[in-house]
Amino acid sequence: GAVVSQHPSRVICKSGTSVKIECRSLDFQATTMFWYRQFPKQSLMLMATSNEGSKATYEQGVEKDKFLINHASLTLSTLTVTSAHPEDSSFYICSAPPAGGRNEQFFGPGTRLTVL
Amino acid sequence: AQKITQTQPGMFVQEKEAVTLDCTYDTSDPSYGLFWYKQPSSGEMIFLIYQGSYDQQNATEGRYSLNFQKARKSANLVISASQLGDSAMYFCAMRGGYSTLTFGKGTMLLVSP
């Protein structure tokens, strides 16, 4: 079945550094991918919609310059957390809409970011 | 705007018993999809079941069934014959016109021996 992968699964970085998270659709093409953030014991909140070949669409309250999204190909979207701070520590998870007439919406395994 | 409400922060069930996790929704879209996901402590989101707004029959997937009551705007998840491995966080979600998902706050299910 359709699979979405994410890399890295876990990252610890120092405050002020930038971290890049990759999201790949492994056996299907995704012109659109979604990035969510989940704080501990909370629900998933949509951050942005990544569009292949065009600018990402950000949800209200999400800083575009801080969370850079690039959707360079039909199978890869990247989220870069720039100048990360401890408050950016969270679980980041990507998703791709269903393909081939299927209803399931698949998620990547997530990336746990810890900023020291 | 879409809204998903899960009123049960936590639920307990004994192994082999059935359990119902509640979900109500609100939307102005005539066409929508409802999902249930399981999130174990590892964090991955595991798709369980889907119900389309125009589906006449309730969705079923193995031990999972979705009790869809459109007039009441509810989409409760029923897990039959609970297993210890069912202990996890469960999220109800709705997909509208742009394929984005709106999630409820989740229900933590604990299955005891």
User: pLDDT tens digits for B54-102?
Assistant: 998 999 999 999 999 999 999 999 999 999 999 999 999 999 766 789 9
Which residues does residue B101 pair with via DSSP β-bridges, in sequence order?
B95
pLDDT of residue A2: 58
Average pLDDT, chain B: 95
User: Once rounded to an integer, what is the mean pLDDT over residues B35-53?
Assistant: 94
Q: Which residues pair with B38 in a beta bridge?
A: B46, B90
| Residue contact B101–A104, C-beta within 8 A | no
> What pLDDT score does A103 carry?
75
- Position B105 scores a pLDDT of 97
Q: Do B105 and A110 touch (CB under 8 A)?
A: no
Nearest CA in chain B to A98: B99
Are A65 and A75 a contacting pair, CB within 8 Å? no
The pLDDT score that the predictor gives to residue A101 is: 64
pLDDT number for residue A3:
86
Contacts of B33 in chain A (CB under 8 A): 103
- Whole-angstrom distance, CA of residue B98 vs CA of residue B27: 13
Q: Which residues of chain A are modeled with pLDDT < 50?
A: none
Give the closest-approach CA distance of B101 to chain A in angstroms. Answer: 8
CB atoms within 10 A of CB A70: 16
Among B33, B105, B106, the residue with its CB nearest the CB of A103 is B33
Residue B3 amino acid letter: K
Report CB contact under 8 Å: A49, B98: yes
